[in-house]
Amino acid sequence: MKTVILLGLCFYFLFLFPVSGMCEDGAKALFFGSTLQDSVSVSKTPTGAAAFSGTQVTTETISPSEARTEKPPTSASTKPTNKRVTSTNKRLKTVGKIATGLSYWIEVLNPNGRIERCTAASRVFNAGDRFRLAFRTNKDGYLYLLLIGSSGTGSKLFPNARINDGNNFVRKNIDYLIPFGDKGFVMDATPGQERVLVFFSQSEMPNLDSQLEKGNALQANETRAVYAYAQTNTDTEGSKDFALEDDNTGAKPASYVITKSTNPKTVIFREIMLKHR
């Protein structure tokens, strides 16, 4: 009897109990395009190709004999159909798009010259700590970073005249460090929370541009207008098309923010909290 109970518990923990970081449809997996998703479910693909909500994902019923004898098209004018036989009676056809994603992390610049990489959720800063922010996207697009102080006033961190020629258009799979080079922000002696607002989209954001066109400094009423824009025009946590994951494992911890919307004008918004004691 004890053996049966132990076997049952092993089955529960190995196969039924949810384990953090093992879900194939997590934001990190979506960022790198390693899952396949239709409008209902998520499944792993043998090739690592990715297709997401709004793309064409269909199945066709075929006979066992057709599955065994299917041959590639013989006509030179016939284009490949990108079809894969998944069983003796199903054929899966996919035309996919990688989900739009943003990855970010913090690099702490230690006095001994060592750079410590971490996520905002896993770090509490002390007065005098030097750090910089790092961002990477999986698609070309437009990026904004705004630092909001405890008084409600703000400053624009990106675009920056010294980074990317002052342009907020960013290329996919490139790390953007803010501040640039070996410079860093320094935490002052006042404890609290520093907030960094992040906006990213494949398309330009003219409404946000119009709110930030006056310069790098923002008054409290201007930051409130930016928050209002974020609440009504962006894909945020709570949206069914939004996924967020903090990965603190391995040598390269990072946070991943994903929108599974296929609309290129969708804006990803994230408020990063930097804890300061």
76 part of a folded domain: no
* Predicted TM-score of the model (pTM): 0.70
Mean pLDDT confidence for 241-253: 91
pLDDT at 34: 64
The model's pLDDT over 189-243, given as tens digits with 9 standing for 90+, comes to: 888 888 999 999 999 999 898 888 777 888 999 999 999 999 888 988 878 888 9
Q: Are residues 143 and 121 in the same domain?
A: yes
pLDDT at 63: 52
Domain span including residue 186 = 100-276
Whether 66 has a pLDDT exceeding 60, the answer reads no
Q: Are residues 189 and 222 in the same domain?
A: yes
The model's pLDDT over 101-148, given as tens digits with 9 standing for 90+, comes to: 999 999 999 999 999 999 999 999 999 999 999 999 999 999 999 999
Mean pLDDT confidence for 43-72: 42
Q: Are residues 127 and 59 in the same domain?
A: no
Whether 68 has a pLDDT exceeding 80, the answer reads no
Q: Are residues 231 and 106 in the same domain?
A: yes
Spatial CA neighbour of 200 closest among 174, 179, 169: 169
Q: Are residues 152 and 87 in the same domain?
A: no
Q: Are residues 141 and 90 in the same domain?
A: no
77 part of a folded domain: no
Backbone dihedral angles phi then psi of residue 87, each to the nearest 5 degrees? -160, -170
210 part of a folded domain: yes
11 part of a folded domain: no
Selected residue with higher pLDDT from 169 and 54:
169
Q: Are residues 266 and 208 in the same domain?
A: yes
209 part of a folded domain: yes
* Cβ neighbours for 99, distance < 8 A, ≥ 6 positions apart: 30, 31, 33, 50, 52, 138, 258, 259, 260
Q: Are residues 139 and 270 in the same domain?
A: yes
Domain total of the chain:
2
pLDDT band at 33 (very low <50, low <70, confident <90, very high): confident
Q: Are residues 142 and 105 in the same domain?
A: yes
pLDDT at 150: 76
78 part of a folded domain: no
Please say which residue of 98, 123, 156 terminates a domain.
Answer: 98
Q: Are residues 232 and 169 in the same domain?
A: yes
pLDDT band at 258 (very low <50, low <70, confident <90, very high): very high
Tokens 């132990």 identify what position?
A: 6
Contact 255, 102 (CB under 8 A): no
Whether 79 has a pLDDT exceeding 60, the answer reads no
Q: Cα–Cα distance between 38 and 211 in angstroms, integer?
A: 37
Q: Are residues 25 and 134 in the same domain?
A: no
Q: Are residues 115 and 92 in the same domain?
A: no
Mean pLDDT is highest, among 19-33, 131-145, 178-192, for 131-145
pLDDT at 217: 87
Mean pLDDT confidence for 59-87: 47
